[in-house]
């Protein structure tokens, strides 16, 4: 039915001789999305970054690419980003070549001499919408706490499957699965005395619980229950309460020392974790042009739903925004 509709609509448009045509054979189904990424993923929120996502069909000598320039770090910041308008900074392009372009065509420092582009369609209007996420948090296994036993995304000594999906103990925006300091006290979880049983579960009897309140230190933001938060028992203000010691014992583990630093600490330590970046790309209401001809894609799923780019796992370091405890 769809093909019949497209054929009849094509005839109608051509018979009107108004220069507008609609085609439905631009298909990149089953082809992975690749990317040319900014040289660095770090920087301030105002740094401009250019991303190029593309599909290459080496059998039919075709490519479809989406280029975006934004100050958003799309690979490290989860969220839905809509309304990237097509224009000078953002563009979509279809190319037809006289030979297979190969997988390295787009990311070369200099434009390749071959193959030759024999046809091109350039975007004139439309928009690009993106959803960015971390597969270590959004996969079916992660959502069901059923990850493989060896996966520890934040390297805190606690396997991912033992840290409940969606749990963010300190409210810093990093779920415990990727939070190297689960309770936000500036003591890395790996240094808070967590003990695992032989069956892989957390031992609540052997894991350190300094104040004996039933909350293990790695989830307790006042480890010694002296009324001063652990993060504030940092006399030298170096964001490391471990090295603030009185009478041979760290102050944050000593209920006899209850002195809060002044002014208060309002910075978290940097957090590192393993991330698999996933970027879902959609191009609604896309219009491409070739000279005087206009090609409109407004309901074709294979063009609208451009595809999903998955970047292999790598380490990311961030400093969460401070949260009052």
197 shares a domain with 108? no
For every one of its 325 residues, what pLDDT tens digit does the chain have, with 9 covering 90 and above? 344 334 333 333 343 445 555 554 567 888 999 999 987 655 445 578 999 999 999 999 999 999 999 999 999 999 999 989 998 889 999 999 999 998 789 998 787 889 999 999 999 989 999 999 999 999 999 999 999 999 999 999 999 999 999 999 999 999 999 999 999 999 999 999 999 999 999 999 999 999 999 999 999 999 999 999 999 999 999 999 999 999 999 999 999 999 999 999 999 999 999 999 999 999 988 888 988 888 776 545 666 889 999 999 999 999 999 999 8
Residue 233 lies inside a defined structural domain of this protein: yes
Question: What number of other Cβ atoms are within 10 A of residue 189's Cβ?
Answer: 25
Residue 142 lies inside a defined structural domain of this protein: no
Residue 101 lies inside a defined structural domain of this protein: yes
Give how far the C-alpha of residue 176 lies from the chain's centroid of Cα atoms, to the nearest Å.
16
124 shares a domain with 93? yes
Residue 208 lies inside a defined structural domain of this protein: yes
Residue 180 lies inside a defined structural domain of this protein: yes
How many structural domains does the chain have? 2
Determine contact, residues 315/273, Cβ cutoff 8 Å. yes
Q: What is the pTM of this model?
A: 0.84
Q: 47: domain range?
A: 2-134+274-313
218 shares a domain with 285? no
Residues 73, 62: Cα–Cα separation, whole Å = 29
* Ranges assigned E (strand) in the chain: 20-21, 34-36, 49-57, 62-70, 79-85, 91-97, 117-125, 127-134, 245-246, 249-250, 271-275, 277-282, 286-290, 293-297, 307-310, 314-318
102 shares a domain with 126? yes
130 shares a domain with 7? yes
248 shares a domain with 177? yes
> Is the peptide bond between 115 and the residue preceding it cis, with omega within 30 degrees of 0?
yes
Residue 147 lies inside a defined structural domain of this protein: no
Residue 246 lies inside a defined structural domain of this protein: yes
25 shares a domain with 69? yes
130 shares a domain with 200? no
112 shares a domain with 49? yes
255 shares a domain with 296? no
């Amino acid at each position: 039915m769809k093909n019949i509709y497209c054929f009849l609509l094509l005839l109608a448009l051509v018979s009107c001789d108004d220069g507008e045509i609609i085609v439905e054979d631009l298909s990149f189904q089953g082809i992975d999305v690749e990317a040319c990424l900014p040289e660095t993923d770090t920087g301030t929120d105002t740094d401009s970054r250019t991303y190029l996502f593309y599909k290459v069909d080496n059998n039919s000598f075709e490519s479809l690419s989406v280029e975006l320039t934004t100050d958003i770090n799309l690979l490290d910041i989860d969220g839905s980003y809509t309304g990237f308008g097509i224009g000078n900074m953002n563009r979509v392009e279809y190319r037809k070549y006289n030979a297979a372009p190969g997988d390295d065509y787009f990311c070369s420092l200099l434009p390749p001499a071959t193959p030759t582009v024999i046809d091109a369609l350039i975007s004139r209007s439309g928009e690009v919408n993106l959803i960015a996420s971390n597969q270590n948090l959004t996969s079916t296994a992660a959502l069901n706490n059923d990850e493989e036993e060896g996966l520890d995304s934040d390297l805190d000594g606690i396997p991912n499957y033992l840290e409940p999906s969606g749990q963010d103990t300190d409210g810093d925006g990093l779920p415990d699965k990727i939070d190297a300091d689960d309770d936000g006290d500036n003591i890395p979880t790996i240094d808070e005395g967590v003990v695992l049983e032989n069956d892989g579960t957390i031992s609540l009897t052997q894991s350190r619980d300094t104040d004996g309140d039933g909350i293990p230190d790695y989830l307790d933001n006042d480890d010694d229950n002296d009324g001063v938060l652990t993060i504030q028992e940092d006399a030298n203000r170096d964001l490391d309460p471990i090295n603030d010691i009185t009478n041979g014992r760290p102050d944050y583990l000593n209920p006899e020392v209850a002195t809060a630093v002044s002014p208060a600490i309002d910075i978290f330590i940097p957090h590192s974790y393993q991330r698999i970046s996933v970027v879902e790309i959609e191009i609604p209401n896309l219009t491409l042009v070739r000279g005087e001809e206009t090609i409109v894609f407004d309901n074709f799923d294979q063009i609208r739903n451009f595809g999903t780019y998955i970047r292999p796992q790598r380490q990311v370091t961030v400093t969460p925004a401070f949260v009052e405890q």
